[in-house]
Amino acid sequence: MVSIKAWALPKSRRNKPPHFSKSQVATVLEQVATLLKLKDANPFRIRAYENGSRTIASLDRDLWELSESGEITGVKGIGKGIAALIGESLGEGTWGDLQSLYDETPAGMIEMLAIPGLGPKRIKQLHDELGIDSIDELSAACNDDAISSLEGFGEKSQQKILDGIDLLARFQGRRRLNVGLLYGEAFEAMVAKIDGVEHAQLAGSARRRRETVGDLDIVAAVKPENVEAVTEAILAIPDITEVKGAGDSKVSVVLEASILEHGMDLGTIDGGVFHAIGGDDYSGMESSGTIDAQVRMVPPHVFAFTLAYFTGSKEHNIRMRQLAIDNGLRLNEFGLIDDEKAGDLKGLEAAKFSLEAKNEEDIYHHLGLDWVPPELREDMGEIEAALEKTLPRLVMPTDLKGSFHNHTILSDGVATLEQMAAAAMDMDWEFLGIADHSSLLNIGGRQIGADAEDMLEQGGKIRSLNELWSDGGKNFRLLHGAECDILSDGSLDYDEETRRQLHHVVASVHQLSTWRARDEVENTEALIKAIEDPTMTILGHPTGRILQSRDGFDVDIHAVLRRMGELNAEGELKSVEINASPYRLDLDWRYCRFARDQGVPICINPDAHNTTGLRDVWFGVQIARKGWLEPKHLLNCYTGEEIESLLSK
């Protein structure tokens, strides 16, 4: 089933020092720390490698310079042994006696690290007590109920391990959009820089902004006489850990995280998400992960066809090809070819009889279609709309004038009202909705949410800040909301009197375990009760899913949206959120059009927990676009004045 590559020490691709990059060294040290944990080695030794890895990753000096000059021994966090190891690896390209450590650890134990919530300590215990060496064995042991009786485990953790294995198998090899784009854009830029590459562009699911990305598809315009040299230059990129194939104008490789110039930025993760994805274990997994990538080189005049083809989706391509056939044309990655003239010719030879296309627009126009934005290319009605010239004018990040669901230090955010407001003004927003957690929210037994009294006091602060801005002629206001927990019976946290004093109530489910243990009927009923509460304005992260980590609870989302539509028709304001955190992207894009058609306004919410978290709205915009949404469907695109008066009613 699942196959994750075992770890390997990087091999030098250069014949002179420095043989490795800083991030390669940091990764090795981090892996060594984990391997030592799997052996239950001396904690001081483990900590030395952990500290070394962290120190090097955040070093702003050139590592080779430091090492050569000997200054490295004076850097805090790097011990003598590790300094020597770094010197050897950079200078000689070898890793001391680390190879044996890598060799003696069963690959299966490393694979197990990817199971959410299973850290090295427990993997070691499973190995020692039950001889478990692989995910398959672990899965079998869970099914035989052999795990629950181990010390420190129980029925619950046994089930959690099974769920984790299941998720891993399903998401294997895919990365979330934010991570996929980090890799994809870095690789695209590197390929584009190579001499002989006229232009290069990321295609595939990343260009279509799917919520997760399998592999990266790069299309490069390269004249035939340069293909060989460009191939060589691509293969020399140091962040390639493995070459799967090269030749025939195509290169298939595996990229590692060192390609990310600014490191693996995991964005802002709220406590709930962090917990769900396995806490600290997860960030280690994330930054030591890899992604497959392919580069296809084609002659410049063919580029637009190849780009369109590898942007996909497959389903969209099939429809396009059929349209071409209906017009006596043959559409493929090389051209839009006169079928009769091309006869038995194939590939680039047949493409000599292609219509010309300087860009993708030309291809669509040749077939009588408007150009279809990549996000819509899923064969979900875009071909028909492009024929009828009724494609939507998709929302853009600059259309947004604010958002509604963000946190401050009053709950689990780390910035103040003033800091969040300043960051929103920097984005040229006219309003920012604050929605700190309500009192019932606990994470790991600790109260995260604000008591009603403190929540109302925040309202006072917001009012005086708003007066200040208004008096100063500044077109900006904070909106005072709360993220009220939806209890299992569908009632909302806080008393009604408190909720009535807010601009808006974001109602969200956080007690996932209860909701996930129930069936769809009960959950739908409870959710509908929540939205019927007169004070509820926005349904927050409607299913509670965490991408690549846990499914949401079962719910008839159509029924919920339909009910919201009815309430809107009666003059109430009931909006559904696209939670823009790249870990959530919930509401799913597949339901956006249904919401729109029911007359449910949608809002994109970054659910920011610090000032940079506001930038996550960008991912929400991508999903809204994928869901066909226009500015008029989004509450974010109202002016500050409009939204203030709407919510003050």
Residues binding Zn ion (CB under 5 A): 483, 607
Residue 207 or 437 having the CB closest to Ca ion: 207
Residues lying near ligand DGT in the complex (CB under 6 A) are found at 204-205, 210, 213-215, 217, 309-310, 312-314, 317-318
Instruction: State how far the Cα of 631 lies from the Cα of 625, in Å rounded to an integer.
Output: 10
Minimum CB separation of residue 583 from Zn ion in Å reads: 12
- DSSP code for 485: E
Question: Of 215, 292, 577, 644, which one interacts with Ca ion (CB under 5 A)?
Answer: 215
What's the gap between Cα 5 and its chain centre? 22
Residue 11 or 244 having the CB closest to ligand DGT: 244
Residue 314 or 341 having the CB closest to ligand DGT: 314
Binding region for Ca ion (CB under 5 A) out of 197-205, 244-252, 271-279, 357-365: 197-205
Does the footprint of Ca ion cover residue 588 (CB under 5 A)?
A: no
Binding region for Ca ion (CB under 5 A) out of 208-216, 354-362, 459-467, 562-570: 208-216
Binding region for Ca ion (CB under 5 A) out of 96-104, 198-206, 329-337, 345-353: 198-206
Does the footprint of Ca ion cover residue 30 (CB under 5 A)?
A: no
**Residue 166 host element (H or E):** helix 155-171
Compute CA distances 124 → 118, 414, 563, whole Å.
Answer: 10, 36, 51
Does the footprint of Ca ion cover residue 256 (CB under 5 A)?
A: no
For residue 1, the partner it binds in Zn ion, ligand DGT, Ca ion, none, with Cβ less than 5 to 8 A by kind, is none
Does the footprint of Ca ion cover residue 217 (CB under 5 A)?
A: yes
Residue 284 or 449 having the CB closest to Zn ion: 449
Minimum CB separation of residue 311 from ligand DGT in Å reads: 6
For residue 483, the partner it binds in ligand DGT, Zn ion, Ca ion, none, with Cβ less than 5 to 8 A by kind, is Zn ion
Residue 50 or 215 having the CB closest to ligand DGT: 215
Does the footprint of Ca ion cover residue 204 (CB under 5 A)?
A: yes
Q: Which two tokens stand for residue 571?
A: 């003059």
Q: Evaluate the CA torsion angle 367, 396, 618, 560 in order and state its sign.
A: negative
For residue 310, the partner it binds in ligand DGT, Ca ion, Zn ion, none, with Cβ less than 5 to 8 A by kind, is ligand DGT
Residue 111 or 217 having the CB closest to ligand DGT: 217
Would you list the DSSP string of 400-422? Answer: --EES-B--TTTT-SS-HHHHHH
Minimum CB separation of residue 173 from Ca ion in Å reads: 11
3-state SS, one letter per residue, for 202-245: ECHHHHCCCCEECCEEEEEEECHHHHHHHHHHHHCCCCEEEEEE
SS3 110: helix
The residue at minimum Cβ distance from Zn ion is: 607
Q: Interhelix angle for 22-38 vs 43-57, to 10°?
A: 160
Residue 172 or 226 having the CB closest to ligand DGT: 172
For residue 397, the partner it binds in ligand DGT, Ca ion, Zn ion, none, with Cβ less than 5 to 8 A by kind, is none
Asked if 55 and 73 count as a contact pair (C-beta separation under 8 A), the reply is: no
Residue 217 or 588 having the CB closest to ligand DGT: 217
Minimum CB separation of residue 331 from ligand DGT in Å reads: 9
Residue 333 or 630 having the CB closest to ligand DGT: 333
Residue 292 or 577 having the CB closest to Zn ion: 577
Q: Evaluate the CA torsion angle 536, 542, 544, 546 in order and state its sign.
A: negative
Binding region for Ca ion (CB under 5 A) out of 35-43, 212-220, 285-293, 443-451: 212-220
Minimum CB separation of residue 336 from ligand DGT in Å reads: 14
Binding region for Ca ion (CB under 5 A) out of 176-184, 205-213, 558-566, 629-637: 205-213
Would you list the DSSP string of 500-563? Answer: HTSSEEEEE---HHHHHTS-HHHHHHHHHHHHHSTT--EE-STT--BTTTB------HHHHHHH
| Cα atoms found within 13 Å of the Cα of residue 95, Cβ hemisphere only | 19
Question: Which amino acid is present at 580?
Answer: A
Residue 206 or 506 having the CB closest to Zn ion: 506
Q: Evaluate the CA torsion angle 274, 277, 281, 286 in order and state its sign.
A: negative
Asked if 348 and 334 count as a contact pair (C-beta separation under 8 A), the reply is: yes
Instruction: State how far the Cα of 47 lies from the Cα of 68, in Å rounded to an integer.
Output: 25
Instruction: State how far the Cα of 393 lies from the Cα of 503, in Å rounded to an integer.
Output: 30
For residue 49, the partner it binds in Ca ion, ligand DGT, Zn ion, none, with Cβ less than 5 to 8 A by kind, is none
Does the footprint of Ca ion cover residue 607 (CB under 5 A)?
A: no
Where on the chain is the footprint of Ca ion (CB under 5 A)? 204-205, 215, 217
